[in-house]
Structure formats: structure tokens, C-alpha cells
Amino acid sequence: MSAPERRRPGGFTRRGVLAMTSLAGVAAAGAVGGDAAASALGGERAREIGRRRVPFDGPHQAGVLAPPAAHGWFAAFDLRPGADRAQVATLLRRWTGEARRLTAGEPVPGDDAMATGYGASSLTITVGFGASLLRRLGAPVPGELQPIPPFPHDDLDEGRGDGDLGVLFTAGDAIVVAHALRTLTRSARGTASVRWQMTGFNPADGVTAERGSTSRNLMGQLDGTGNPRPGDPGFDAHVLVGPGGDPAWMRGGSYLVFRRIRMLLDTWDTLPRERQEQVIGRRKDTGAPLSGGTEFTPLDLDRQNPDGGLAIGPGAHVRQASPASNSGATILRKGYSYFDGYRADGAPDAGLLFMAFQRDPRDGFTRIQQRLALADELSRFLSHESSALFAVPPGAGPHGYLGQGLLDGL
């Protein structure tokens, strides 16, 4: 990715993304961590996983556009009482430096060696700012960061929602994610501490930037088929804050909605597969819409079955969630499954760490969820248990730090 392209906020190109994922996909020969991984781990596959890198610096933070990884962890941090602008700036400068090294497979100063030998493993570290952080700093809170309104049947745990800072860690290796989380937690000491943290996964390497590799969620459904892709018409306008966006420090950034969505798997399991497919609106094996075709065939929402009923029923999830049903609302979703044991009521504490990037949550997640909560048949098999919203500033240049645009303006 050339330097001019890197610095063009919002000027995201399909070519740029392909270059990035291609860089991530090939075993970058010079990767420091990769070589260490090669010598320490033996297996060819371990070497391959360790060597992969997703470049940290760029017009957008890498976690926004990078393909989903096998492991995705999220941590929200709260500032210590009394932490001021200077301390926040120091923290963000430190985190940026650490993220830049870790995503290159290099140790940080004073590294605890937790991931020595495992390489970069496609690590991404993406930092977002909660409305509460902006208020603490005395910065105006953009309308995009207005609280997400409550929806019918929400069952939110406030202790596991929101936060001053939110950080998404993704990588091909869990120990690399854990190491990154520990590193940033340690360097935040005295300024910020973890408010809540969740641990998710995806099928191993089942997901790439290519079509045809959509991963399954814990309901067994291919999840993400309808996701917009970089380069699609309107992608930038829906997902990224453009060059004229306000506030200026968010140009090239995006807004991240996080929801912990528990799946009522025991109830879901009682449905025959045909009924599950009607609730979703897609076949379970292939992911093809019930209106026909293959996984990526566009939905035909008007298609009728021979009996005259709609092929994709009125309450089917894909109908209710589609841009056509939501005035064009389009979000870039990232899902990581979680399985956190069993609850006291005997149900699995399992589901989806749902994340969606968009230019404005009011026109994206909120609009769609207002419809889903009322009309989506799938909603009675889900329970939204936590919610958070973060402004994800643009990527950093090689000498800058994440959020510098915000901090410099205060």
C-alpha cells in the first residue's frame, strides 16, 4: 500500500484491501516473529499461521476491514478517576506503539514472553472511544455516539456494556490474542483498567476475504453471507466516515456497535431443520436463500412457493434484516462465537459476540435492530445481553498514534 493511499482518509479502495489481505495471506518472508515461530514450533502449519501479518498502519484501523480470524476477543476499559487528557494521550501513544510491534510479531519492551515464538499470527488491534471518554476529555460527543436506544426484549447487563475505551483483538492464535490483551492491560495500569472482556472464536481459517468461505455460527447457520464487501457500491458510504465527515478526527474511521447476543440453543434445537430454515430464510447446508439459487444469489423477496406463500416468509430473518427492508441500511458485521459454560438454569451460556461497523449507527444497527426486535422470527431465539458503542478513529500513520486527531484538537 503506497504512502499517499495510506493517508487518504475514507479513500479506501478495493485494490488497497486486496493488497492488505494478500500481504496478510502470504507468508511475509521478513517477519521477525514468523522466523521465531518457525524455529520454536516445528510444524509447517504453525509457521504459516505465525508468519501472517495484517499491516497495522493505514487509512483505517486494520480490524475494520481485515477478514475475521479464528479468535476475536473484546475488552472495554474505563479510565481511572482523575485521569486527564495528558494521561490519555500517553496511554494511546503507548498502545499504538505496542500494537504496531505486536501486529508485526515483535516483542514490546519488557515483554512477558507469553507469545514468544508464535509470530504475528494475523493479529489486529483496533481501538475505539466510548461517549464517556469524550465527556471525560471535554470533547463534543458526536450524534453517532448517542446511546443505542433500548429494544423490546433487551436483557442488558450494564456491567458488561459500554466503557471509556473498547479494544478488539483478533488473530489466528488464541495465545497471541491473550498476549496482546495482557500487554495493553499492563501498560494501561494507573490510567485505565478492564471494565469487561469477552472471548470469541470462529471456525479455524474457515473465513477469508473471498466469497464462498462464510463461517457457521453456533446455530449452525452460515453467518455473514449478506455482508457488504470492500469495493461494493456504497461500501465506503455505509461503513466509513468520509473525507467531509464531522468531527474531523473521525474521518477514515467508523462506529462500532458491540452486542453480546446469547442464542437460546436448546429451544432452537427443538425446531426441525426445515423450520429453522424458514426462520432464517436460507438453507442450512448451503446457505442458499429459500427463494432459490446458491449462497450468494440475491434474495428474491417476492418469490412465491407453488402454494402461493412467500418463499422467504414475512418474518424470516434475512427479509427483516435486508437493506431492502431497512431503507438501504447496511452494516459490516463481524461475528465471533462464544461458549462460556452453562447457566444456573441449565442452558448453555453461548452465542455470538456481534460487532457491526458503520458510518452512523442511527442509520445502521439501530434502524435494523428496531425492525428485527419486532418482526424477526429469529429474535425469540436470541437474547441481547450487553451493548456497547465506540467511535473507532482512523488508522495511524507510521509516526502517529491512534486518536491523535482527537487529542491534538483538545
- Enumerate binding residues for its own copies (CB under 8 A): 40-43, 45-46, 48-49, 70-71, 73, 112-118, 121, 172-176, 178-179, 181-182, 185-186, 193-194, 196-199, 201-206, 208, 210, 212-213, 215-216, 218-220, 265, 269, 273, 284-285, 337, 339-342, 346, 348, 350
Residues 6+ apart with CB under 8 A from 355: 72, 74, 168, 256, 257, 258, 259, 333, 334, 335, 336
Cβ atoms of 395 and 59 within 8 Å: the answer is yes
Whether 223 sits among the annotated catalytic residues: the reply is yes
d(CA 191, CA 92) in angstroms, rounded, equals 11
Q: Which helix (H) or strand (E) holds 46?
A: helix 44-51
Cβ atoms of 53 and 27 within 8 Å: the answer is no
Nearer CB in complex with its own copies: 192/406? 192
Q: How far is the CB of 254 from its own copies (least distance, A)?
A: 25
Nearer CB in complex with its own copies: 71/359? 71
85-93: long-range pairs with CB below 8 Å, 24+: 85/137, 85/138, 85/407, 85/410, 87/191, 88/133, 88/136, 88/137, 88/191, 88/407, 89/401, 89/407, 90/191, 91/187, 91/188, 91/191, 91/192, 92/127, 92/401, 92/402, 92/403, 92/404, 92/407, 93/401
d(CA 34, CA 369) in angstroms, rounded, equals 42
Cβ atoms of 198 and 157 within 8 Å: the answer is no
Q: How far is the CB of 192 from its own copies (least distance, A)?
A: 12
Q: How far is the CB of 388 from its own copies (least distance, A)?
A: 14
Q: How far is the CB of 384 from its own copies (least distance, A)?
A: 18
Nearer CB in complex with its own copies: 157/246? 157
Nearer CB in complex with its own copies: 220/231? 220
Nearer CB in complex with its own copies: 74/255? 74
The single residue of 223, 236, 363, 376 carrying the catalytic annotation is 223
Q: How far is the CB of 194 from its own copies (least distance, A)?
A: 5
Indicate which residues carry an active-site annotation.
223
